[in-house]
Structure 1
Amino acid sequence: MSKRLSTQSTILLFVSAGLLVVSIFLQWWGMKFYAPQYPQGLNIIVYPYKLAGEIDIVNSLNHYIGMARFSEESFPELQYLPWIITGMGLLIIITALVRRRSLLYGVIGLFIIGGILGLYSIRYWLVKFGTELDPMAPITIDPFVPPIIGRNTIANFETISYFSYGSFVLGFVFLLLLYPLWKERKKG
């Protein structure tokens, strides 16, 4: 079996590196809050480098149940995640230039580890914010953990958690990384 990647596979690796870097500027995950007083919903939108949405309003409401404030400083990942993504993009480019399957296996392994760590991080913060409630808050509710994806009810709010565009781009990048191995599996 040949250990070198074809020209087509090399081009796909360059495309995947470009898409990976573009994903930095797209939202990856979000949560929407609906209540009778907010029928249009309030958003928390997570990019790899910042939070967006109606964060101030959500924080003012969360205060009543004793939840810690959301801020970019609360999530250290937002400080270094763009650098990790850029580094992964550079590893993919190096793999494309060297054209070695063994390097591609390594990149795919790192990508899988990064995905697992990313899901763990989301879950960690959902548990931390939902269970470490101030017992002296004006409104007492039971600790809760919203799902990474799906619906949840917290007091009079219904929340919907979802992956967004950037996450879909990451999934497509992963498929582009796998494609050369599948395409060239019988080559040699």
Structure 2
Amino acid sequence: MKKASLMMMIGPVFLLGLFIFPLWNIMLGAPQYPEPLGMNIHINGIRDANEFDLQNIDGLNHYIGMRKLPKPKEMWEFSVFPLVIGGMVLLGVLIGILGYFKKIGYNWFLCWFILMSILGILGMYDFNSWMVDYGTNLDPNAIMKLANSDGTPMTYKPPLFGHSKMLNFDVSSLPAKGAWMMFIGMMLTVVAFYTGWNTAKSRKPKNQKKAST
């Protein structure tokens, strides 16, 4: 159980990488841009992938009626997400410590993983909802008003995951380093649960044998 508890303590610490590295990355490439424009989505704001990228993206978006990219104070998520991640790190480490001193069982390790997974899914849903609103709620007085082949107004929602084509831009949306660190940390808690379960399972017959004698 001690080995499992140590892994449970280490796993959530990987989530601290989200305070340093971006969670997600969106890149826009086009023939007129030798170097693609990009934005890094952090848990506390949106930053340039390269210098002046956000400024250039806002300039392009102005022509088709998209709003400027939000500042940290303009989205409640950028204030709440750091608190959620920090709270989950503290909770995970506390569960690991309590498990190490045999105050709680290994099932708590799985409970932390499930809770973190639910929060992650809710975060992705919120992120996707923001991109839908950002790419479809356009200024009716925009300089350029483009329509699809069926006559409906064209929308510009980036993909949540993967690649898509928007006008002459190739847009890719993929997890960044912070997301991979979070994934590794969460997987460590799953391994911690399995290790705790396996240890308890291997000890059970011995205890039963002692009881029978």
Find the residue that maps to 1:18 and give its secondary structure.
helix
Counterpart pick for 2:173 among 161, 164, 183: 161
CA distance in 1, matches of 2:56, 2:108: 47
Find the residue that maps to 1:51 and give its secondary structure.
strand
CA distance in 1, matches of 2:44, 2:67: 20
Q: Which amino acid aligns with 2:174?
A: Y
Counterpart pick for 1:41 among 36, 42, 55: 36
Summarize deviations over 1:143-177 as a string: whole Å, max 9, x none: 24321111122222221111111111111111111
Counterpart pick for 2:161 among 134, 140, 149: 149
CA distance in 2, matches of 1:25, 1:35: 29
Counterpart pick for 1:183 among 195, 202, 209: 195
Contact 1:25/1:48 (CA < 8 Å) preserved in 2?
no
CA distance in 1, matches of 2:173, 2:88: 27
Counterpart of 1:75 in structure 2 is: 75
CA distance in 2, matches of 1:158, 1:140: 20
% identical equivalent positions = 25
Find the residue that maps to 1:133 and give its secondary structure.
coil
Summarize deviations over 1:58-87 as a string: whole Å, max 9, x none: 011100000011022343211121111110
- 1:31 and 2:26 correspond: yes
Runs of 4+ in 1 over 3 A off after TM superposition: none
- 1:60 and 2:59 correspond: yes
Counterpart of 1:109 in structure 2 is: 114
Aligned-pair RMSD on alpha carbons?
1.5
- 1:122 and 2:130 correspond: no
Give the superposition deviation at 1:133: 1.0
Counterpart of 1:3 in structure 2 is: none
After TM superposition, the structure 1 = structure 2 runs for residues 87-106 of structure 1, keeping only pairs within 5 Å, are 87-99=87-99, 100=104, 101-106=106-111
Counterpart of 1:131 in structure 2 is: 136
Contact 1:66/1:138 (CA < 8 Å) preserved in 2?
yes
Question: Structure 1 length as normaliser, TM-score?
Answer: 0.91
CA distance in 1, matches of 2:19, 2:122: 17
CA distance in 1, matches of 2:31, 2:144: 18
Counterpart of 2:211 in structure 1 is: none
The worse-fitting range, judged by mean Cα deviation, of 130-139 and 10-19 is 10-19
Question: Which of the two has higher C-alpha Rg?
Answer: 2
Question: Structure 2 length as normaliser, TM-score?
Answer: 0.81
Contact 1:150/1:161 (CA < 8 Å) preserved in 2?
yes
Find the residue that maps to 1:26 and give its secondary structure.
coil
Unpaired runs of 5+ residues, structure 1, are: 1-5
Aligned residues: 183
Unpaired runs of 5+ residues, structure 2, are: 147-153, 205-213
Find the residue that maps to 2:28 and give its secondary structure.
strand
